[in-house]
Amino acid sequence: MLGRVNHIAIAVPDLGSATATYRDVLGAKVSQPQAMPQHGVTVVFIELDNTKVELLEPLGEESPIRTFLGKNPSGGMHHICYEVADIAAARDQLKQAGLRVLGDGEPKLGAHGKPVLFLHPKDLAGTLVELEEV
């Protein structure tokens, strides 16, 4: 079911500063910031040869990243995203196996314009997992 790792997401308290570190100190190729109001975040993608790193900053007072940063003020790894060929089939198979899909269970468009779902971290060794259809 799982394909390759699409990205690893890191929540940051200051997107500009984190972006500058990756770009100017580490020499990485970075995208322009992209506001995602439906997810409550602004994102920047760090382009690597084998995957991407997604930097997440809270957007709005109800942002789930704001809660995460409240517990981890310096930021930290937020989730890992795996690719799947058919997100609806993956969701159904995982729900049948007893895993919990967050939200209403329906895919939403992610930062790449493709359907995504999140799985409860308590079902996956304490790790928030995002699935993205490719």
Q: Is 130 a catalytic residue?
A: yes
- How many structural domains comprise the chain? 1
Query: Which string of DSSP letters, residue by residue, matches 62-81?
Result: T-HHHHHHHH-TT-EEEEEE
Q: What's the CATH number where 31 sits?
A: 3.10.180.10
pTM of the predicted structure, to 2 decimals: 0.94
Domain that holds residue 39: 5-133
* d(C-alpha 52, C-alpha 116), whole Å: 16
Per-residue pLDDT of the chain (134 residues; tens, 9 = 90+): 999 999 999 999 999 999 999 999 999 999 999 999 999 999 999 999 999 999 999 999 999 999 999 999 999 999 999 999 999 999 999 999 999 999 999 999 999 999 999 999 999 999 999 999 99
Catalytic residue among 54, 57, 83, 130: 130
